[in-house]
C-alpha cells in the first residue's frame, strides 16, 4: 500500500466524513456477510441499523457515555459535526445528520492518520453495540 502523504488533521470535516463513511461501511458489510446474510435486499435492510444517520448518532452517544474517545478523537468528531455541508439530511433532522457526519469524520481521520488498529477497535465496538441493542456491551 502506498504511504499516505495527506495530513488528516489539515482536512475539513466533510472530506474526512467522505472517507469515513466508506471505511465504516466496509466493516458493516463484512460483518453482515460473516453472519450469513447474502441476499442483497436483506443486506441493505440490515445495514441500515448500523449505518443510518440515526444509528451513527446513537453510536456517538454510546461512545460518549462510555468515555471511549480521546480528546483528539473528539476534536475530529466535532470538526465533522460542525463542518459546513452542502448536502441535506435525508429522512432525519439536521442535528442527527450533522452528528453522523462527525461520526464518519472520526473514522476518516483515524484511517488517514494510519491508526488502523483503532479503526478496527471502534468499528468492532460499534458492531457489538448495535448487535446488543445499544445496551453498552461494546468493548473498546
Q: What is the pLDDT along the chain (140 residues), one digit of tens a residue?
A: 444 556 777 788 899 999 999 999 999 999 999 999 999 999 999 999 999 999 999 999 999 999 999 999 999 999 999 988 777 777 888 899 999 999 999 999 999 999 999 999 999 999 999 999 876 555 55
Residues 98 and 41 sit within 8 Å (Cβ to Cβ): no
**Rounded Cα–Cα distance for residues 20 and 17 (Å):** 5
Report, as residue numbers or ranges, the catalytic residues.
21
Does domain 11-131 fall under CATH 1.10.3720.10? My reply is no
Q: Can you say how many angstroms the Cα of residue 14 is from the centroid of all Cα atoms in its chain?
A: 13
Could you tell me the three cell numbers for 72? Answer: 483528539
Amino acid at each position: 500500500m502506498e504511504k499516505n502523504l495527506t495530513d488528516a488533521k489539515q482536512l475539513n470535516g466533510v472530506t474526512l466524513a467522505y472517507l469515513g463513511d466508506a471505511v465504516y461501511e466496509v466493516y458493516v458489510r463484512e460483518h453482515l456477510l460473516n453472519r450469513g446474510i447474502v441476499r442483497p435486499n436483506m443486506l441493505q435492510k440490515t445495514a441500515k441499523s448500523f449505518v443510518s444517520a440515526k444509528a451513527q448518532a446513537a453510536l456517538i452517544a454510546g461512545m460518549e457515555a462510555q468515555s471511549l474517545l480521546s480528546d483528539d478523537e473528539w476534536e475530529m468528531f466535532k470538526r465533522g459535526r460542525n463542518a459546513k455541508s452542502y448536502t441535506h439530511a435525508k429522512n432525519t433532522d439536521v442535528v442527527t445528520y450533522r452528528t453522523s457526519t462527525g461520526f464518519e469524520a472520526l473514522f476518516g481521520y483515524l484511517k488517514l492518520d494510519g491508526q488502523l488498529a483503532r479503526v478496527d477497535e471502534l468499528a468492532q465496538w460499534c458492531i457489538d453495540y448495535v448487535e446488543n441493542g445499544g445496551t453498552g456491551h461494546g468493548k473498546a
